[in-house]
C-alpha cells in the first residue's frame, strides 16, 4: 500500500485516510492506495465497514489538477472506476468529511453510502471554474440526491456550499459535533449491527423523475445563466450532463458525462482556466520576499480622500471587519462620501445580498475625521486624493509627520511615480502603491506597486492585506500606468487610429465584446467618464513627442461637452435613464470629418483587423513590461487583466491567449503593422526573441 493512503482497523471498521498534503489531491498515488485499501477491506473478514477520511486540513480538494493534460496521461485506476466500485461495495462505506470536499473529493463522498461532515465543512463541485464538468459521476449522482434545480445551481455556479446548507439540500446526510471520524465509525457500526440497507445515489430515481417531463426547467435555467456564462463552454456542458441524468439510465448518463469531461479537459478553454487557477496562486510568490517574511499586523486602517475610489476602499476594510478612519478636507466632502458608502450598502441590502444587521456593523466600523491627528495610531493609510503630484506629496508629508513610525503609507495613484511620492516622507521603505480598480469595493484586483526603497516587510504586509480584504494582489513595478493601464493605453491608442482609418465606435466595441471583454473600449469610456482622461491629456500636451501619431477624436468629443453616460452622450448616445449605448450619427460625422482633415482615405476595416490591431499591441506591451521586470511573470499580467479589466477567464489572460494564438503569428502581424503604421507598433524585443525561438511566454 502506498504512503498516500493508510488504513487502521477500529473494531471491525477500516478507517482509510488520505495523505497527500496540502489538499489531499486525488493523484495517481492516492488512487492506487485507495483502490488497494478498498480491495483489502472487501476481502478481509475482520472488516465489516469502511470510513474514508482525509488527514490534515481537509477531506480532499479533488483531482490533482496538474495531472490534467499530461502526457502520458495518468495511469489507472481512474477516479470514476474507483467510485463506482466503492458505491457497489456490500460493506457500508461512510465519508467522514472535514475542511472541504471538492470536485473529485466530493464525488468520492457521493459514492459513499453515508456522508457525515464536521461543522465548518464546505462541499461542492467547482469543476466548472476550471472549464470542465465534474468527471467522476458528480453530474449524475448529485441530481439524484438533491433534485435537478438544486443540482443545476450547485454544479453550474461551482460554489462551495457550507455544511448546514449542504445538509438542508441533501448533499450531506448530517453535520456532526465532535470528532467526525468517531461519529463515522459509530455510524458504520450501526449500519452493520442493524443490517441497515445501503443507500446508493446511482439507484435513486424519485428526485430526477420529478424533472422528467418538465424539460422547460433546463430552458429556463439556460436563459437565467446566459449573461454570466457568455462565452464559456463548461456551464452549458454541465447543464447538458444534468439533463442526461434525467433522461438517461445511470450508466448511460455516466458515459455522457465522461465523454463531455474528456472533450472539455482537452479544450483551450479548460487549459486557460487551469492556467488562471495556478497563476492566481503564483502571484503571491515573490522571489526576494520569501514566504516567511514577517508581516506587520493590520488591525486598523485609514483612507485619505473619500471620493469615487476612497469610499470603495474604505468599504473593503469594513467588509473584512477592520476598523477604518476616513479623512477628508472638509465636513461637507466627508458627508458626501459617507452618504455614497451608505447608499451602496443599502442597495446591496435591498437586493437581499446583505442583512441590515451586517450593513449596520460595517458602517459602525467606519469613522470619519477632518483632523490628521486622528490618524496617528492606524497601521496603514491608503491615500486616494486627486491625481496631482503636488497634492500627493503634501498629503504624504503630513501623514509621515502624524502617523506612528511603523505605519505603512500607501497611495492609490494610477499614474504617478511612487518613488517621488515616497520622497516626501522619511520612511520610503514603508511607502507602496496600492492601485485599486473601479468600483473599488467590487473589482478584485490590487496592483501593489513596489518603489525602489519599499521594504520586503511592507510588500509582504500589503500582499497579505490584499488577501485579507478579499482581493488578489499582484506585485508590479513603477512605470507609467503600471501593468494594466500601460497595456490598456497601447490597445486604446490603436482603436482610436482605426476610427480615423475607417471604423466606427460601435464596430470596435462589438468586436471586443464578442472577444469576451465585458464591454468595448468606447462603452467602457462612456461608463467611466471621458473628462478625466481629457484633463490628463491636456496636462501632457506640452511634452507629447510630435513625431508620434496622436488621435484627436477623443478630445474633439469632450470639446462637445460629451463626457459619457453622465452627460447622456459620449462616444455613443444614451436615452434618458438607460445605459444602453446607441450609435450616434453625429459622432460618425465627426470621425469622418477628422479622417478627411487628416487626408486619410477611409477604408473598410474587418473585424479580424480590429482584433489584431487592438489585442496584439496589448500583448506586445505586456512583453515589454516583462522585459523591463515590471511584472514578475506572464501569469501575473494575466491575473491583472482577468481581475482588473474582466479579460475573459476562458482565454486565460492576454499572455496565455497570445501563446494559444502563437507568438510567431503575433510577431509577424506586429512586424507588418509596424511597416504599415510605424512608431507605436514596433515589436517588443522579447516577443521577437520568443517568436524566433518557437517559444511562448509560458516557457519563460
Collapsing DSSP states into helix, strand and coil, what is residue 416?
A: coil
Yes or no: say if 198 and 92 are a contact pair by the CB < 8 Å rule: yes
User: How many CB atoms are located within 10 Å of the residue 424 CB?
Assistant: 20
Site string for ligand NAD, 133-172 (x = CB under 6 A): ----------------------------------------
Here the cell at position 33 is: 492506495
Minimum separation from the CB atom of position 186 to ligand ZOZ (A) = 28
Nearer to ligand ZOZ, 62 or 648 (CB): 62
Q: How far apart are CA 484 and CA 489, in angstroms?
A: 9
- C-beta of 80 vs 520, nearer to ligand ZOZ: 80
Among ligand ZOZ, ligand NAD, none, the one that 459 touches (CB under a kind-dependent 5 to 8 A) is none
CB atoms within 10 A of CB 505: 28
333 binds ligand NAD (CB under 6 A): yes
Question: What is the nearest approach in angstroms of ligand ZOZ to the Cβ of residue 477?
Answer: 23
Using alpha carbons, select from 148, 257, 250 the residue that is nearest to residue 203. 250
Quick note: the x/- pattern for ligand ZOZ over 34-73, rule CB under 6 A, is: ---------------------------xxxxxx-------
**Interface stretch with ligand NAD, choices 299-307, 663-671, 673-681, 682-690 (CB under 6 A):** 299-307
Residue recorded with cell 502603491: 433
Q: How far apart are CA 45 and CA 520, in angstroms?
A: 67
Given the complex with ligand NAD, which of 462 and 499 has the nearer CB atom? 462
Closest distance of CB 384 from ligand NAD, Å: 4
Nearer Cβ to ligand NAD, position 135 or 305? 305
Segment interacting with ligand ZOZ (CB under 6 A) among 22-30, 361-369, 389-397, 547-555: 22-30
Is there a contact between 115 and 171 (Cβ–Cβ < 8 Å)? yes
Total Cβ atoms within 10 A of residue 3: 9
Q: Which does 584 bind (CB under 5 to 8 A by kind): ligand NAD, ligand ZOZ, none?
A: none
Which segment (78-86, 433-441, 574-582, 598-606) binds ligand ZOZ by CB under 6 A? 78-86
Neighbour count for residue 2 (Cβ, 10 Å)? 16
Query: Residue 478: left if φ>0, alpha if ψ -120 to 50, beta else—which one?
Result: beta
At closest approach, how far in Å is the CB of 151 from ligand NAD?
40
> In this complex, which beta carbon is closest to ligand ZOZ, that of residue 80 or of residue 617?
80
Q: Is 675 exposed, middle or buried (0-12, 13-18, 19+ CB in 10 A)?
A: exposed
- The b-or-e profile of 249-274 (16+ CB within 10 A means b, else e) is ebeebbebbbebbeebbebebbbbbb
Cα dihedral 79, 84, 86, 92 sign? positive
Binding mask 434-473 for ligand NAD (x = CB under 6 A): -xx-x-----------------------------------
Catalytic positions, written as ranges:
107, 127
Q: Give the Å distances, CA to CA, from 154 to 108, 291, 362.
A: 17, 34, 29
Which residue among 25, 525, 570, 617 contacts ligand ZOZ (CB under 6 A)? 25
Q: Phi/psi of residue 479, each to 5°?
A: -165, 170
- Using CB atoms within 10 Å of the CB of residue 699, give its burial: 0 to 12 exposed, 13 to 18 middle, 19+ buried: exposed
What order of strands is seen across the sheet that includes strand 100-102?
Answer: 100-102, 122-124, 161-162
Which of 3, 11, 22, 546 touches ligand ZOZ (CB under 6 A)? Answer: 22
86 interacts with ligand ZOZ by CB under 6 A: no
Sites for ligand ZOZ among residues 272-291 (CB under 6 A): 278, 281
- Closest by CA to 627, choosing from 545, 694, 688, is 688
Nearer to ligand ZOZ, 78 or 199 (CB): 78
Nearer to ligand NAD, 304 or 314 (CB): 304
Q: Is 386 in the site for ligand NAD (CB under 6 A)?
A: yes
**Residue 449 interacting partner from ligand NAD, ligand ZOZ, none (CB closer than 5 to 8 Å by kind):** none
d(CA 61, CA 65): 10
User: Please, are residues 425 and 431 in contact by the beta-carbon 8 Å criterion?
Assistant: yes
* Cell matching residue 22: 496540502
By beta-carbon distance, which residue lies closest to ligand NAD? 307
Q: How far apart are CA 652 and CA 641, in angstroms?
A: 9
Give the shortest CB-565-to-ligand ZOZ separation in angstroms.
Answer: 37
Binding mask 391-420 for ligand NAD (x = CB under 6 A): x---x----------------xxx------
List the grid coordinates of 235: 456551464
* C-beta of residue 74 within 8 angstroms of C-beta of residue 28: yes
Tell me: does residue 325 bind ligand NAD (CB under 6 A).
no
Q: Which does 626 bind (CB under 5 to 8 A by kind): ligand NAD, ligand ZOZ, none?
A: none
Instruction: Map grid coordinates 513596489 to a residue.
Output: 450
- Residues binding ligand NAD: number (CB under 6 A): 24
- In the region spanning residues 492 to 531, those forming contacts with ligand NAD, defined by CB under 6 A, are none
For residue 142, what are the contacts with CB-CB under 8 A and spacing of at least 6?
Answer: 110, 125, 134, 151, 154, 155, 171, 201
Nearer to ligand ZOZ (CB atom), residue 66 or residue 350: 66
x/- mask, ligand ZOZ, residues 90-129, rule CB under 6 A, reads ----------x-xxx---------------------xx--
Smallest distance, ligand NAD to C-beta of residue 442, A: 12
Residues 6+ apart with CB under 8 A from 512: 519, 520, 521, 610, 611, 614
Exactly one of 84, 268, 374, 387 binds ligand NAD (CB under 6 A); which one? 387
HSE-CB of 301 using CA atoms within 13 angstroms: 28
User: Please, what is the minimum distance in Å from the beta carbon of residue 357 to ligand NAD?
Assistant: 29
What does 387 bind: ligand NAD, ligand ZOZ, none (CB cut-off 5 to 8 Å by kind)? ligand NAD
The single residue among 97, 136, 265, 304 that binds ligand NAD, judged by CB under 6 A, is: 304
Least spacing, CB of residue 486 vs ligand ZOZ, in Å = 27
Strands 445-450 and 114-117: unpaired
Whether the Cβ atoms of residue 362 and residue 319 lie closer than 8 Å to each other: yes
696, interface contact from ligand ZOZ, ligand NAD, none, CB < 5-8 Å by kind: none
Is residue 87 within 8 Å of residue 202, measured between CB atoms?
yes
Per the listing, cell 453535520 goes with: 175
For 332, residues 6+ apart whose C-beta sits below 8 A from its C-beta are: none
| Binding partner selected for residue 329 from ligand ZOZ, ligand NAD, none, CB under the kind-specific 5 to 8 Å limit | ligand NAD
Contact between 381 and ligand ZOZ by CB under 6 A: the answer reads: no
* Strand blocks (E) in 55-208: 93-97, 100-102, 114-117, 122-124, 161-162, 174-175
Q: Which stretch binds ligand NAD (CB under 6 A): 87-95, 268-276, 380-388, 689-697?
A: 380-388
Provide the mask over 233-262, with x wherever binding to ligand ZOZ is found by CB under 6 A and - wherever it is not: ----------------------------x-
CA angle 633, 458, 642 (to 5 degrees): 35
**Sign of dihedral through CA atoms 679, 539, 310, 413?**
positive
Query: Looking at 253, 310, 505, 520, which residue binds ligand NAD (CB under 6 A)?
Result: 310
How many residues are present in the chain?
700
Q: Which of 308, 342, 369, 552 binds ligand NAD (CB under 6 A)?
A: 308
CB of 645 to ligand NAD, least distance (A): 12
- The residues that touch ligand NAD, with contacts defined as CB under 6 A, are 304-310, 327-329, 333, 337, 384-387, 391, 395, 412-414, 435-436, 438
- The residues that touch ligand ZOZ, with contacts defined as CB under 6 A, are 22-23, 25, 61-66, 78-80, 100, 102-104, 126-127, 130, 135-136, 261, 278, 281
Amino acid at each position: 500500500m502506498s504512503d498516500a493512503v493508510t488504513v487502521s482497523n477500529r473494531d471491525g471498521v477500516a478507517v482509510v485516510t488520505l495523505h497527500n498534503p496540502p489538499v489531499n489531491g486525488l493523484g495517481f498515488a492516492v488512487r492506487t492506495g485507495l483502490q488497494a485499501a478498498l480491495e483489502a477491506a472487501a476481502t478481509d473478514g475482520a472488516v465489516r465497514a469502511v470510513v474514508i477520511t482525509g488527514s490534515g486540513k481537509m477531506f480532499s480538494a479533488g483531482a490533482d489538477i496538474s495531472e490534467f493534460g499530461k502526457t502520458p496521461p495518468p495511469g489507472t485506476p481512474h477516479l470514476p472506476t474507483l467510485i463506482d466500485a466503492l458505491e457497489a461495495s456490500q460493506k457500508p462505506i461512510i465519508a467522514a468529511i472535514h475542511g472541504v470536499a471538492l470536485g473529485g473529493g466530493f464525488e468520492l463522498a457521493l459514492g459513499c453510502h453515508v456522508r457525515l461532515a464536521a461543522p465548518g465543512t464546505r462541499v461542492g463541485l467547482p469543476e466548472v471554474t476550471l472549464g470542465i464538468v465534474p468527471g467522476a459521476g458528480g453530474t449524475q449522482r448529485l441530481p439524484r440526491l438533491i433534485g435537478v434545480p438544486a443540482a443545476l445551481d450547485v454544479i453550474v455556479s461551482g460554489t462551495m456550499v457550507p455544511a448546514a446548507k449542504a445538509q438542508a439540500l441533501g448533499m450531506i446526510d448530517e453535520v456532526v459535533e465532535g470528532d467526525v471520524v468517531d461519529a463515522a465509525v459509530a455510524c458504520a457500526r450501526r449500519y452493520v449491527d442493524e443490517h441497515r440497507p445501503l443507500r446508493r445515489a446511482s439507484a435513486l430515481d424519485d428526485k430526477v423523475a420529478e424533472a422528467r417531463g418538465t424539460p422547460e426547467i433546463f430552458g429556463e435555467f439556460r436563459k437565467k445563466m446566459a449573461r454570466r456564462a457568455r462565452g464559456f463552454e463548461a456551464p452549458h456542458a454541465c447543464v447538458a450532463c444534468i439533463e442526461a441524468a434525467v433522461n438517461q439510465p445511470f450508466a448511460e448518463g455516466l458515459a455522457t458525462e465522461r465523454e463531455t469531461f474528456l472533450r472539455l479537459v482537452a479544450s483551450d478553454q479548460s487549459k486557460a482556466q487551469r492556467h488562471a487557477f495556478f497563476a492566481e496562486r503564483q502571484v503571491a510568490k515573490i522571489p526576494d520576499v520569501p514566504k516567511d517574511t514577517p508581516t506587520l499586523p493590520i488591525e486598523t486602517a485609514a483612507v485619505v480622500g473619500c471620493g469615487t475610489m476612497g469610499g470603495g476602499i474604505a468599504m473593503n476594510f469594513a467588509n473584512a471587519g477592520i476598523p477604518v478612519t476616513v479623512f477628508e478636507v472638509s465636513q461637507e466632502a466627508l458627508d458626501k462620501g459617507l452618504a455614497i458608502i451608505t447608499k451602496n450598502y443599502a442597495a446591496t441590502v435591498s437586493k437581499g445580498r446583505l442583512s441590515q444587521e451586517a450593513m449596520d456593523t460595517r458602517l459602525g466600523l467606519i469613522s470619519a475625521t477632518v483632523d490628521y491627528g486622528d490618524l496617528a495610531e492606524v497601521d496603514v493609510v491608503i491615500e486616494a486624493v486627486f491625481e496631482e503630484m503636488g497634492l500627493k506629496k503634501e498629503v504624504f508629508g503630513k501623514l509621515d509627520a502624524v502617523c506612528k513610525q511603523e505605519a505603512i503609507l500607501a497611495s492609490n495613484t494610477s499614474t504617478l511615480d511612487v518613488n517621488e511620492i515616497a520622497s516626501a516622507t522619511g520612511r520610503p521603505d514603508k511607502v507602496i502603491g496600492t492601485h485599486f480598480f473601479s468600483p473599488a469595493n467590487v473589482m478584485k484586483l490590487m496592483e501593489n506597486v513596489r518603489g525602489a526603497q519599499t521594504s520586503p516587510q511592507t510588500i509582504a504586509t500589503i500582499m497579505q492585506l490584499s488577501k485579507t480584504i478579499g482581493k488578489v494582489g499582484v506585485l508590479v513595478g513603477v512605470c507609467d500606468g503600471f501593468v494594466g493601464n500601460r497595456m490598456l493605453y497601447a490597445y486604446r491608442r490603436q482603436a482610436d487610429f482605426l476610427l480615423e482609418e475607417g471604423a466606427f465606435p460601435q464596430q470596435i466595441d462589438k468586436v471586443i465584446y464578442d472577444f469576451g471583454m465585458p464591454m468595448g473600449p468606447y462603452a467602457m469610456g462612456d461608463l467611466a467618464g471621458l473628462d478625466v482622461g481629457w484633463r490628463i491629456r491636456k496636462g501632457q500636451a506640452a511634452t507629447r513627442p510630435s513625431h508620434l501619431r496622436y488621435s484627436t477624436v477623443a478630445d474633439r468629443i469632450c470639446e462637445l461637452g460629451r463626457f459619457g453616460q453622465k452627460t447622456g452622450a459620449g462616444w455613443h448616445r444614451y436615452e434618458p435613464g438607460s445605459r444602453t449605448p446607441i450609435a450616434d450619427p453625429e459622432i460618425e460625422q465627426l470621425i469622418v470629418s477628422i479622417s478627411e482633415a487628416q487626408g486619410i482615405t477611409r477604408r473598410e476595416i474587418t473585424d479580424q483587423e480590429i482584433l489584431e490591431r487592438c489585442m496584439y499591441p496589448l500583448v506586445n506591451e505586456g512583453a515589454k513590461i516583462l522585459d523591463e521586470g515590471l511584472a514578475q511573470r506572464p501569469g501575473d499580467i494575466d491575473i491583472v487583466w482577468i481581475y482588473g479589466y474582466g479579460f475573459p477567464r476562458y482565454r486565460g489572460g492576454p499572455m496565455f491567449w497570445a501563446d494559444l494564438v502563437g507568438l510567431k503569428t503575433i510577431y509577424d502581424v506586429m512586424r507588418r503593422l509596424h511597416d504599415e503604421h510605424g512608431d507605436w507598433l514596433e515589436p517588443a524585443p522579447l516577443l521577437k526573441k520568443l517568436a524566433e525561438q518557437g517559444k511562448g511566454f509560458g516557457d519563460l
